């Protein structure tokens, strides 16, 4: 009876943890990345503030560091035409979204101590992740129609 109880407890603990794919993704994302390209799904000029922070032009060339063992990170805006400096965030990679078939990537901006003042975050789709490239997509509504922002990263 004790062995059965121990087995059930072990199975329940293991099933509550992150999947192997999510754990592997966290290993791959660890390190330094550069956001090298941002595309929109529709042609035109748009005044988009990414992550409620800066424009597309400010984010291109930004440096990103991911620390998956505590789900924290820092991105740095380098463009001198913008408000340069470090921004802090916490993140999680969630299981596959059943609607899109992609992994959800949740990012919440924080202060230097990784505390969120607004408790607001952003849900993005982790479209691609390899040892050298990563791609996120965020779909928002513009004039009632879906509008996708694609962010491409290169690992340093």
What domain range includes position 125? Answer: 21-155
- The model carries a pTM of 0.81
- Asked if pLDDT for residue 9 goes beyond 80, the answer is no
- 71: CATH: 2.40.128.280
Candidates 123, 98, 99, 93; CA nearest to 21 is 93
- Asked if pLDDT for residue 100 goes beyond 70, the answer is no
C-alpha dist (Å) from residue 90 to 34, 56, 57, 148: 18, 21, 23, 23
Confidence band of 19 (pLDDT split at 50, 70, 90): low
- Asked if pLDDT for residue 11 goes beyond 60, the answer is no
Tally of domains within the chain: 1
Mean pLDDT of 27-48: 92
Predicted confidence at residue 5, as pLDDT, reads: 37
The residue ranges of DSSP E strands in the chain, in sequence order, are 31-40, 49-50, 54-55, 62-67, 72-77, 85-96, 103-110, 122-129, 133-142, 145-155
Mean pLDDT of 22-51: 89
Asked if 135 and 128 count as a contact pair (C-beta separation under 8 A), the reply is yes
Three-state DSSP at 46 gives: coil
Classify residue 15: in a domain, yes or no. no
Classify residue 1: in a domain, yes or no. no
Predicted confidence at residue 25, as pLDDT, reads: 79
Q: What is the pLDDT of residues 112-146, one digit of tens each?
A: 999 998 888 999 999 898 999 999 999 988 888 89
- Asked if pLDDT for residue 22 goes beyond 80, the answer is no
Mean pLDDT of 25-35: 92
- Asked if pLDDT for residue 64 goes beyond 50, the answer is yes
Classify residue 44: in a domain, yes or no. yes
Asked if 91 and 69 count as a contact pair (C-beta separation under 8 A), the reply is no
Classify residue 151: in a domain, yes or no. yes
**Average pLDDT over all residues of the chain:** 85
The position carrying tokens 């000029």 is: 45
């Amino acid at each position: 009876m004790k062995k059965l109880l121990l087995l059930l407890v072990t199975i329940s603990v293991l099933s509550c943890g992150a999947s192997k794919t999510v754990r592997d993704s966290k290993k791959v994302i660890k390190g330094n990345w550069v956001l090298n390209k941002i595309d929109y799904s529709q042609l035109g000029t748009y005044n988009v503030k990414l992550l409620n922070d800066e424009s597309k032009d400010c984010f291109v060339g930004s440096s990103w560091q991911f620390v998956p063992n505590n789900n924290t990170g820092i991105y740095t805006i380098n463009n001198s035409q913008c408000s340069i400096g470090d921004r802090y965030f916490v993140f999680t990679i969630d299981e596959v979204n059943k609607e899109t078939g992609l992994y959800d990537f949740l990012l919440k901006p924080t202060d230097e101590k990784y505390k969120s003042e607004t408790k607001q975050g952003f849900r993005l789709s982790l479209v691609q992740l390899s040892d050298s490239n990563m791609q996120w997509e965020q779909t928002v509504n513009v004039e009632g129609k879906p509008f996708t922002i694609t962010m491409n990263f290169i690992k340093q």
